[in-house]
Amino acid sequence: MKLVALLSMLVTAAASAQTPRLHFKPEGHSLGDVHPFFHAGECFLYYLKPGKYESMLVRSRDWLHWTPEALVHEPVRPDDWFAPYFVLGVFRDEAAQAWRSYHGHTQGRMACSVSADLFRWSCAPKEFAVPAADYYERRRDPFVFWIPEMKSYGCVMTTWAKGRPKETGGAVSLAISTDLQHWNDHGVVLDLVDRGEPECPQMFQIGTRWYLLTSIYARHSVGRPEYFTAARPQGPWAHGGVLDGKDLCAAQVARDGDEGTFMFGWIPLTPATPEKQEWGGHLALAREVYALPDGGLATRLPAKLARTFEALPWRSFDDARLAETPRAIPGAWRDFAAAMRIETTGPGGEVRLSFAPLGEVSLARDRLRILDGRGLCWSELALELDGRAPCGVLVFVEDDRVEVFAGDRWSLCARLPAVKGPYALSLRGADAAVSRLGCAALH
């Protein structure tokens, strides 16, 4: 759904319904490394629990209400290759009429688990494992996917190249099999040359083009979602761009039938800096990922979530031509959503939505930023706005978490240092006008 069209509906809506909490976190612990899988109209979200990295499961139809489900692991036999993260990325094996998931073993083998119902899992026979090799120091995070043109499965893996420091040994390797039991290891198909390990890699297809999505570990951070493009899984791969900032961690995508491709990730439990990033946190809002005419990828708010937010009790405000003097938006706000249509009228074209004392969102012609109350930037994303067309912007603030969707092409999230009390909303900017401004309380 186009953001500008959505804005028109949002700011005129008068329904009294309110949305649930935007950012899910399981009771008693945070979640990390989420792996979505769609089945029968539901999203099954497998994730890792901090500590021993146990695999856990929640499921949802609206992607806001999540129901915990017990994952049952069959007793481990002496010859099983078992690890705590028993269920990660899930796929359907039609030949066996079963679901499978692969996980990395400490010796470099990629072991397989199998289920008849998505809830009870057991170790598959050793023949289904991707064998170890000798071209890496470490190999992990397998993701198995179907390659239609080859009528084969691929297994893409995070790789630390042999003989290189961990900080500059990042690579992606690939193995291919027609039956999940005989694997041809192609070794490294993407060498990052001077960067760290590309965590939770995925390969997927939109149209005829292949994409590789990963989060490249750097210093103390999981890394923002980056993607590469190629004509086939074996490459050669070219860097395509980034899909969010550093606070959308270990993002993963899944296809929901004909509805589209959707990306899920987690926001660190505490504000992340280059020196420290806590592993695990809240689930971010889902993003729809789609291909642009030039082959690049873009993100937008999924129609499923947009329909939920349409029902909020939106308040509409008059059009505003902005100046450096802030324009106050009446009310004492806490958790809220803001919808704007921004029209740039000059070379600067910057608009700032402030929610003092927590922070503000800055949208300029060339970048989107989320800043705290002191003006320090906690997350940013480069973009290219067309000054001749209006840009729809949605901002969601819940507690200390901020998410922005702009122009049906870009998304950005961040966790800011928390503050107490309500927020004072205001707009300011230069060379820009804001029309169809609406705000709504979330809870």
Architecture per CATH, 3-17+310-441? Sandwich (2.60)
Residue percentage of the chain with pLDDT more than 70: 93
As a whole number of angstroms, the distance between CA 70 and CA 44 comes to: 12
On the question of pLDDT at 68 being above 50, the answer is yes
Q: Where are the beta strands (DSSP E) in 217-358?
A: 225-230, 238-242, 249-255, 261-268, 281-283, 287-291, 297-300, 315-317, 320-321, 327-333, 336-344, 350-356
Q: By three-state DSSP, how is residue 127 classified?
A: helix
On average, the pLDDT of the chain sits at: 91
**More confident of the two residues 222 and 35:** 35
Cβ atoms < 10 Å from Cβ of 356: 13
pLDDT band per the 50, 70, 90 thresholds, residue 227: very high
Give the mean pLDDT of 35-53.
95
Question: For 194-217, how does the pLDDT look when each residue is reduced to its tens digit (9 = 90+)?
Answer: 999 999 999 999 999 999 999 998
Mean pLDDT of 15-36: 85
Average pLDDT (365-371) is 95
| pLDDT > 60? residue 111 | yes
> pTM value?
0.94
Helix or strand (DSSP H, E) at 37:
strand 32-39
CA separation, residue 256 to residues 37, 41, 365 (Å): 8, 8, 33
Contact in structure between 264 and 34 (CB atoms under 8 Å): yes
Confidence (pLDDT) at 7: 59
Ranges of each domain in the chain: 3-17+310-441, 32-305
SS3 content of the chain, % helix, strand, coil (to 5): 5, 50, 40
> Per-residue pLDDT for 11 more than 60?
no
Tokens of residue 280, six digits: 């695990």
> In which band, very low, low, confident or very high, does the pLDDT at 18 lie, cut at 50, 70 and 90?
low
pLDDT > 90? residue 99 = yes
- Rounded CA-CA distance 48/112 in Å is 17
Q: What confidence score (pLDDT) does residue 16 get? A: 43
User: What pLDDT digit, counting tens, does each position of 257-310 carry?
Assistant: 999 999 999 999 999 988 889 999 999 999 999 999 999 999 999 999 999 999
Q: Give pLDDT, residue 353.
A: 95
Residue 82 pLDDT level (bands cut at 50, 70, 90): low
Handedness of CA 71, 77, 80, 83 (dihedral sign): positive
CATH 3.40.980.10 fits 32-305, yes or no: no
